[in-house]
Amino acid sequence: MRSSPALIEIHGLSKHFGPFAAVDGIDLTVPGGEVLGFLGPNGAGKTTTMRMITGFLAPSAGSITIAGFDVAAAPLQARQVLGYLPEGAPLYPDMTVAGFLGFIAEVRRIDGQRRRERLDAVIDQVGLGDVLRQPIGTLSKGYKRRVGLAQAIVHEPRVLILDEPTDGLDPNQKHEVRKLIRAMARDRAIVISTHILEEVEAVCSRAVIIDRGRIIADGTPDELKARSGYHNAVVLTVPRAQAGAATEDLKDLPGVERVTRDELADGYDRYTVIPTESVSIAGAVSGLVRERGWSVRELYVLPGRLDDVFRKLTGHRQSGEAA
């Protein structure tokens, strides 16, 4: 075992279901302190990859190491340092919350005093104090998700795998869960799969986009956004009366690719100025404004949009191909 700051190391990971390659040669390293967002369209191989990381599925090829333990060779040690919230947060509906968490703690060999401490801690952390004696089956979706999170973190795992942790929750619940994830991120490696892009921006320090079993983009959310066509685009709102031919003027600026105009109801027009290859055009635009003396209501630079990047990278699927 070598000690490495990387808590998850994946090399050449593949999984074939018959002739179909669900995961096709993934390499990935996640160090402690990182919250990795796993992005991709449905069927891209997110869940399959996570199942292989947790040891539920055996890979067809490649290796996975969790905190130094090889998942294939030392599955029990690897699982011991790993917390997992499967897709849909499946739970035993007949068990009470307390019974269920107790069972998980028991299986994870948390005994005696420490068990009480840890249970109290996670119950407090995810806010389950009110429903401890209730059968899980009678709980609301939000509570169930919290129970799922609680079981995943009860043993203070160094690696946390969360498959769509906020799926199906209302905005308030999503917010709470994200807060929780951020709070836990400090020295752990957390992998979150999601197809909600705002979530990546909200909690992730790194995002990986996966499609057809392959990683097609990897970077911080900002880096990814930079790959959007809207990166460094400038939004400008001026009175329609002042700027009748503004479109033409803006288009003539250097580095401008194209300009779109939205007519707003209150007599203003909003222009979105898109640069060629994300060059900075803010200076040029503001110069033009000063030159023409437009009374500008708003003027700002767009950082780029993730969903745009996402669509751009995985757009081939829109033509109806599904897996």
| Residues at the contact surface with another protein, assessed by CB under 8 A | 17-18, 51, 54-58, 76-77, 79-80, 82, 84, 86-88, 90-95, 99, 103-104, 106-109, 130-135, 139-140, 142-143, 146, 151, 170, 172-173
- The residue (of 109 and 297) whose beta carbon lies closer to another protein is 109
- The residue (of 148 and 229) whose beta carbon lies closer to another protein is 148
How many Cβ atoms are within 10 Å of 281's Cβ, its own excluded?
A: 23
| Shortest distance in whole angstroms from residue 154 CB to another protein | 11
| Shortest distance in whole angstroms from residue 54 CB to another protein | 4
| Shortest distance in whole angstroms from residue 134 CB to another protein | 5
| Shortest distance in whole angstroms from residue 175 CB to another protein | 12
- The residue (of 104 and 208) whose beta carbon lies closer to another protein is 104
- The residue (of 93 and 283) whose beta carbon lies closer to another protein is 93
- The residue (of 79 and 206) whose beta carbon lies closer to another protein is 79
| Shortest distance in whole angstroms from residue 41 CB to another protein | 20
**CA 289 to chain centroid:** 38
Pairing, β 206-211 against β 189-194? unpaired
Residue by residue, DSSP assigns 14-37 as: EEEETTEEEEEEEEEEEETT-EEE
DSSP strand E in the chain: where? 6-17, 20-31, 35-39, 61-66, 69-70, 82-85, 159-163, 189-194, 206-211, 214-219, 234-239, 256-263, 268-275, 298-301
**Ramachandran angles phi, psi of 37, nearest 5°:** -90, 130
- The residue (of 191 and 207) whose beta carbon lies closer to another protein is 191
Lay out the sheet containing 268-275: strands in order across.
Answer: 256-263, 268-275, 234-239, 298-301
Residue 27 contacts residue 182 (beta carbons within 8 Å): no
Amino acid, res. 46: K
First to last CA, the chain: 38
- The residue (of 55 and 229) whose beta carbon lies closer to another protein is 55
- The residue (of 164 and 249) whose beta carbon lies closer to another protein is 164
- The residue (of 60 and 247) whose beta carbon lies closer to another protein is 60
| Shortest distance in whole angstroms from residue 35 CB to another protein | 20
From CA 300, how far away is CA 323, in angstroms rounded? 40
Q: What's the CA dihedral at 159, 163, 169, 172 to 10 degrees?
A: 30
| Shortest distance in whole angstroms from residue 214 CB to another protein | 20
Residue 64 neighbours by CB under 8 Å, 6+ apart? 8, 9, 10, 13, 52, 53, 70, 71, 72, 78
| Shortest distance in whole angstroms from residue 157 CB to another protein | 10
| Shortest distance in whole angstroms from residue 159 CB to another protein | 12
Place of tokens 């939004």: 235
Residue 182: name the closest of 205, 203, 199, 154 by CA.
203
SS3 of 129, please? Answer: helix
